[in-house]
Amino acid sequence: MSEDMNKPLTDLISLTIDGQEIEAEEGQTIVQAAQKNGIYIPTLCALHADKENGLKYDLAPGTCRICTVKANGRTTAACTTPVSQGLVVENDTPELNDLRKTIVELLFVEGNHFCPFCEKSGSCDLQALAYRYQMLTPRFHYAFTPRKVNADMPKLLWDGNRCILCRRCVLAIRTEEGEPLFVFANRGDKSTIIVDTELIQDISEELAQQAMDICPVGAIIRKEKGFDTPFGQRKYDHSPIGSISSISSDMTCSSGENKTGGEKS
């Protein structure tokens, strides 16, 4: 009995990532467990909820596969795979990083990524991953796929040339009544995002900013705000995505929580 009472609310289990033993809560995904333990697993579609992005819960659409790890020897998406007792995860290995680099290259040739004049350049997660994996050029041919641009709305524009169909906007950007502003349409290589041009007419500045911020690339851009951060001050100008300084927002967030806890006691 006394043993039961000492049990934490959620069961803690242990697993290893690249040989490092970590504790995680039952029901967490590998990405969530790694995040809690300060281990970087790249993500483009999964997104940890924090004060900065204003999300109420973590997103894990499982669309991009950049988080691919080996779990007990099997390749799997770390953002959708739950942790389990004794799980052996390989993450930061040359093989997996080369695979991730390949995914980045494929995304670059599939869309039309003109970084030099993209408003998100310097703060774009896809570009930052290309920097992290030292992509000098994709090893595939550029497809120059025709894509749509929707600029026929106030506050925002949507650029299909840069959209990687990650689904973050579909899941997270909603009106106060919970209606989606962005929806998926079509299938396969015809897949696209459609913007609800009626609902989007009166979105708030905050929601527009949140939409731009949660989009991992430059597909959702606030009108009249482009290029307002000078070179040298953008998110990934000085340190790679996933390095201590670029995940500092998460760190600040958790130390902030500790502080509040401290004040209460």
**Residues that bind ligand SF4 in the complex, under the rule CB under 6 A:** 113-116, 118, 120-121, 124, 126-127, 162-169, 182, 193, 215-220
35's contact among ligand FES, other proteins, ligand SF4, none, with CB below 5 to 8 A by partner kind, is: none
User: In the beta sheet, which residues pair with residue 59?
Assistant: 47
What CA–CA distance (Å, rounded) separates 220 from 119? 10
- Cβ–Cβ under 8 Å, residues 235 and 125: no
Tell which one of 127, 166, 200, 203 touches other proteins (CB under 8 A).
127
Structure tokens belonging to residue 31 = 């990405």
Tell which one of 16, 144, 244, 245 touches other proteins (CB under 8 A).
144
Total interface residues for other proteins by CB under 8 A = 25
Query: Residue 89 interacts with ligand FES (CB under 6 A)?
Result: no
Which of residues 85 and 191 has its CB atom nearest to ligand SF4 in the complex? 191
Helix axes 94-110, 125-132, angle to 10 degrees: 140
Stretch 203-232 residues interacting with other proteins (CB under 8 A):
231
Question: What mask of x and - would describe binding to ligand FES in positions 44 to 73, judged by CB under 6 A?
Answer: xxx---------------xxxxxx------
Neighbours of 260 (CB within 10 A): 8
Question: What mask of x and - would describe binding to other proteins in positions 97 to 126, judged by CB under 8 A?
Answer: ---------------x-xxxxx--xx----
Total interface residues for ligand FES by CB under 6 A = 12
Which of residues 15 and 170 has its CB atom nearest to ligand SF4 in the complex? 170
The helix (H) or strand (E) run that includes residue 5 is helix 2-6
Closest of 138, 140, 185 to residue 165, by C-alpha: 185
Which of residues 51 and 139 has its CB atom nearest to other proteins in the complex? 139
- Cβ–Cβ under 8 Å, residues 169 and 214: yes
The whole-angstrom distance between residue 110's C-alpha and the CA centroid of its chain comes to 19
